[in-house]
């Protein structure tokens, strides 16, 4: 009879511990990405995407950046997406797939991420050399809007940048 009594005491205690751990795991703090992170070391240009169908050269708008934690707390689980628009047009021209810029290992205060590269899924194609494509009369400049998301919170605009008319090889 003693083992049964002990089991009756241990079970509610164990359930209480499990419930408390589950509740603490569900509780997350809010991080204002615009205040916690700074976009730094931004570089833009057109990446040489090689030769595509029809033996044409292709270049795609690209942005490279780093995120710096300017808050006093570690920041983890940040995703980025990029929306590319041709200047003068209102609808989205292309996008870059989301990137896990900061994973589950938190970025400490004052630290920066490794460079993050985001390339548009659309670009320009032509038979002329890539450098000449950047100066073609029908070439339209592109801008990129950068959005970040902390964990399951909503997307926040972190910045907007014009893509430089520079040819990138990396």
pLDDT one-digit tens code per residue, 158-167: 999 999 999 9
Task: Let me know if residue 119 belongs to a domain.
Answer: yes
Asked whether residue 55 is assigned to any structural domain, the reply reads yes
Both tokens of 121, joined, read 């899924």
For every residue of 8-41, DSSP letters joined together read HHHHHHHHHHHHHHHHHHH------HHHHEEEEE
Q: Looking at residue 170, what is its pLDDT? A: 79
- Count of structural domains within the chain: 1
Supply the pLDDT for residue 3: 54
CATH of the domain at 49: 2.60.40.10
pLDDT higher at 49 or 9: 49
Q: Hey, how many other C-beta atoms are within 10 angstroms of the C-beta on 6?
A: 10
Residue 90 in tokens = 């209102």
Q: Mean per-residue pLDDT for 117-132?
A: 95
Domain that holds residue 98: 29-168
Residue 6 located in a structural domain: no
Tens of pLDDT, residue by residue over 44-67, are: 999 999 999 999 999 999 999 999
């Amino acid at each position: 009879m003693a083992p049964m009594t002990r089991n009756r005491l241990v079970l509610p205690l164990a359930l209480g511990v499990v419930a408390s751990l589950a509740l603490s795991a569900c509780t997350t703090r809010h991080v204002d990405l615009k205040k916690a992170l700074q976009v730094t070391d931004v570089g833009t240009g057109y990446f040489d995407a090689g030769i595509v169908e029809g033996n044409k050269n292709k270049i795609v708008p690209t942005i490279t950046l780093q995120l710096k934690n300017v808050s006093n707390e570690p920041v983890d689980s940040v995703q980025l997406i990029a929306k590319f628009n041709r200047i003068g047009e209102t609808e989205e021209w292309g996008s870059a797939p989301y990137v896990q810029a900061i994973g589950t290992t938190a970025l400490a205060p004052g630290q920066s991420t490794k460079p993050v590269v985001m390339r548009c899924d659309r670009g320009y194609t032509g038979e002329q050399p890539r450098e000449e494509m950047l100066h073609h009369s029908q070439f339209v400049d592109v801008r990129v809007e950068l959005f970040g998301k902390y964990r399951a919170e909503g997307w926040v605009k972190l910045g907007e940048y014009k893509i430089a008319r520079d040819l990138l090889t990396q």
